[in-house]
Amino acid sequence: MIRLLYGTSNSAKIQHMKEMLDKLNIEIIGLNDIGNAVKIQVRETGNDPLENARIKAMTYFKEFKVPVFSCDSGLYIEGLERKKQPGVHVRRVNGKELNDNEMIKYYTNLAAELGGVVKAKYKNAICLIIDEETIFEYDGEDISSEEFIITSKPHNKKTKGFPLDSISIEIETGQYYMDIHEKNNPNKEYKMAKGFRDFFLRTALK
């Protein structure tokens, strides 16, 4: 079994990745499992998800010298002018880092300005560093999200670390992602989960 450090201290993201990679021969640990790792400041200065994933993975590999991977996402909203696109700065607005509640408020207001509902999509990227000579990067469509709807009407429940789930609706069913998760429906993220599994199968587990 290979042990990989996931370069994040977000417990929700770590659990999500563990679920997607379930039954693969991989043990995932997070920054909270490594002493003072969470105190390391990473300047995410990239212009797209892949650049930021690379920056984070390189930073943690140089610090800990263990196999590490980092992911990053960019949010792209239909009908929003380019300079206002969240992109890789989903939590950062006008230089301020938003908490979960502030994110919900900002994006519901944005949806309201665009008519109450708006289509959006996450573009995801991953950088895996096994050693100094073995580095893998990927940002293919199979690890990106399906198109979904952001609504101006938030769900009454929230998931810590994933605030936008409260205002995101699956196009196919018209259900909030919060309700889909709670009802334990079949995995609605099958394509993305398979994409991440395939990535690790052809890299870390090859």
| Of 38-42, 139-143, 161-165, minimum mean pLDDT range | 38-42
120 φψ region: left (φ > 0), alpha (ψ -120 to 50), beta (else): beta
pTM of the predicted structure, to 2 decimals:
0.81
21 lies in a domain? yes
Residue 34 clears pLDDT 90, i.e. is over it: no
Here the CATH number for the domain that contains residue 44 is 3.90.950.10
Q: Quickly tell me which residue has 């610090």 as its tokens.
A: 63
Q: Quickly tell me which residue has 């105190």 as its tokens.
A: 39
Residue 151's domain spans which residues?
2-201
pLDDT tens for 109-135 read 999 999 999 999 999 999 999 999 999
- Quote the number of domains for the chain: 1
Mean pLDDT, residues 165-172? 94
206 lies in a domain? no
Distances in Å between the Cα of 194 and the Cα atoms of 89, 144, 189 are 26, 11, 9
A 10 A CB-CB count for 72 gives 26
Reported as a pLDDT band with limits 50, 70 and 90, residue 87 is very high
46 lies in a domain? yes
70 lies in a domain? yes
Mean pLDDT, residues 42-51? 91
Residue 183 clears pLDDT 70, i.e. is over it: no
pLDDT tens for 13-25 read 999 999 999 999 9
Reported as a pLDDT band with limits 50, 70 and 90, residue 107 is very high
91 lies in a domain? yes
pLDDT tens for 135-158 read 999 999 999 999 999 999 999 999
pLDDT tens for 54-82 read 999 999 999 999 999 999 999 999 999 98
43 lies in a domain? yes
Residue 200 clears pLDDT 90, i.e. is over it: yes
Q: Residue 40: its pLDDT value, please?
A: 82
